[in-house]
Structure 1
Amino acid sequence: MRLIIAGFVASLSCLALDVWALPPGEGERLVREHCSSCHRPEILNRAQGYDSSDEWRQLMASSG
C-alpha cells in the first residue's frame, strides 16, 4: 500500500512540473538553463509581458 501511495505522489509531482509549459524555441532553452534552476514556474510566469530586448535586459540585470 505504501508503494502505491508513493507512486501516486510521485506522479502528481511530475504533473505539477508540466502545468506551466514554455513555448518551444530558443527562449525556452534559455529559461530552462538560466532561470528555472532557481525560480519556480509561478515566479517565471510573472516575467511574461517583457517584449523588447531592453525590457529583458533590465529584468536579467535585476535578477543578479
Structure 2
Amino acid sequence: MRRRRNIILRGYKCHVLLVDYVTEEAVKILRLLHIQNLRQLQSQINEALVIVQNVTANPKTDQRLGKIGR
C-alpha cells in the first residue's frame, strides 16, 4: 500500500501564466504526477537494462582464440 504524503503546492512554480488560481493549482498537480510517472518509467527502464546486461555480459573467454606474443 502506498504511503500518502501531503505536498504544499505553494513551494512549486507553475511556469505558465494563468489568471485562475484553481487552474494553476491543477497544473501544478498534473506536473507533479507527470514527474512521478517519469520516475517510475525510468526505474522500469533501468531494471530492463540490468536484465539485458546480465544476459549479454558473459565474462567467459575462449583461450584458444587468444594469442601471446607475435
Q: TM-score, normalised by structure 2?
A: 0.32
Larger Rg: 2
Which protein is richer in helix relative to its size?
1
Q: TM-score, normalised by structure 1?
A: 0.34
